[in-house]
Structure 1
């Protein structure tokens, strides 16, 4: 197994660790200052999430640079991305930090675009990530970090950055999904 695939697998294995820190109460005293509160578990989960999310582009870069793109990597990389984002979104809903409809919109779009990509692969075509898909990923990661950190540092100035990022993530997610289907409508079999 090459380095790129190992990095992708590491991202998958980090998912349950992130969920553990988000959903299991270790009863550690929270950090509190100036009316702001955050748990050590949230900080650890956020740091691990940032590490996992940052490996997303790294594995693909290494695979392309070393000419080690494999079918396993093509399968595991998008799976790892979706597992990471879906697990954290579901955890955020469970923690009452994210409206469930936003999580459903984001996860549904991921399933739909993945299905479209699978149909394209069956026809020997690859649907590359679009600029809107890249923007979608960036805003989703930003939203998740803001929610995990209880809107830090914006909480100090009472600015709802986390909720604005959530709405923006939902809008860009829907738009990027529509964009994929419109640009690739010739792939969809009409029978």
Structure 2
């Protein structure tokens, strides 16, 4: 296994820990948030560097073209599931993401049976960018929720009623996060159409 593939594999291994640290309330929230930011940063950064390493070392092959998007699906679906489970990501957007991701995996599997690999598409890269922004905003919102709840000494949902700067930050993040998920839904549908068009060209 090449270095690029090992970096890709790390996303699959670390993804469940992101879900665990959000849901494991017995772990103190402040250190958990630090771990969550580290995990999120690595999952996104590693997606950028594994491809560059593969190209620079001439290790671009059919396995990598399938393994990298598979790892992307595992990592991003996992952190979206985590955000949906705590009420930050709308469930309808999560369903659209799930349908798209597994639909693309199915199309890639059909092409693989014919010995053809479908690489990344422009629509897929745009979609990945919207996923990253939505994930970043969601984690930022969750962080504000935690700190606001600690300041109030009550539950997570009370941050919106906290007076002053914290409430203002929370309100802005909530609005931006909501908008980002609408953008995610649109980009996800457009990306699926892009891949479907490419699939029809390759599946002969």
TM-score bin, normalised by smaller chain = 0.7 to 0.9
Query: Which ranges in structure 1 are unaligned for 5 or more consecutive residues?
Result: 31-38
Q: Give the Cα–Cα distance (whole angstroms) in 2 for the partners of residues 154 and 139 of structure 1.
A: 25
Q: Give the Cα–Cα distance (whole angstroms) in 2 for the partners of residues 76 and 127 of structure 1.
A: 12
Q: Give the Cα–Cα distance (whole angstroms) in 1 for the partners of residues 67 and 118 of structure 2.
A: 16
Give aligned pairs, total: 180
Partner in structure 2 of residue 162 of structure 1: 177
> Is structure 2 residue 76 aligned with structure 1 residue 61?
no
The more displaced of 85-94 and 40-49 is: 40-49
Alpha-carbon deviations, 1:134-187, whole Å to 9, x = none? 110011111011111117699527331001001100111111111211343244
Q: Is the 2:37–2:139 Cα contact (8 Å) retained in structure 1?
A: yes
Structure with more of its chain in helix, by fraction = 2
Task: Summarize the alignment of residues 12-31 of structure 1 with structure 2, pairs less than 5 Å apart.
Answer: 12-26=12-26, 28=28
Alpha-carbon deviations, 1:33-71, whole Å to 9, x = none? xxxxxx442342132111111111211211121112345
Partner in structure 1 of residue 148 of structure 2: none
TM-score scaled by length of structure 2: 0.78
CA positional deviation for 1:91 = 1.1
- Correspondent of 1:131 among 122, 125, 140: 122
Greater than 6 Å deviation, 4+ residue runs: 151-154
Q: Give the Cα–Cα distance (whole angstroms) in 1 for the partners of residues 202 and 177 of structure 2.
A: 36
CA positional deviation for 1:72 = 4.2
Q: Give the Cα–Cα distance (whole angstroms) in 1 for the partners of residues 52 and 87 of structure 2.
A: 36
Q: Give the Cα–Cα distance (whole angstroms) in 2 for the partners of residues 125 and 155 of structure 1.
A: 51
Q: Is the 1:11–1:80 Cα contact (8 Å) retained in structure 2?
A: yes
TM-score scaled by length of structure 1: 0.83
Q: Give the Cα–Cα distance (whole angstroms) in 1 for the partners of residues 176 and 168 of structure 2.
A: 8
Aligned-residue RMSD, C-alpha: 2.3
Partner in structure 2 of residue 76 of structure 1: 67
Q: Secondary structure at the match of 1:126?
A: coil
Q: Give the Cα–Cα distance (whole angstroms) in 1 for the partners of residues 100 and 39 of structure 2.
A: 25
Q: Give the Cα–Cα distance (whole angstroms) in 2 for the partners of residues 105 and 44 of structure 1.
A: 28
The more displaced of 9-18 and 146-155 is: 146-155
Query: Which ranges in structure 2 are unaligned for 5 or more consecutive residues?
Result: 145-165
Task: Summarize the alignment of residues 80-91 of structure 1 with structure 2, pairs less than 5 Å apart.
Answer: 80-91=71-82
The more displaced of 79-88 and 146-155 is: 146-155
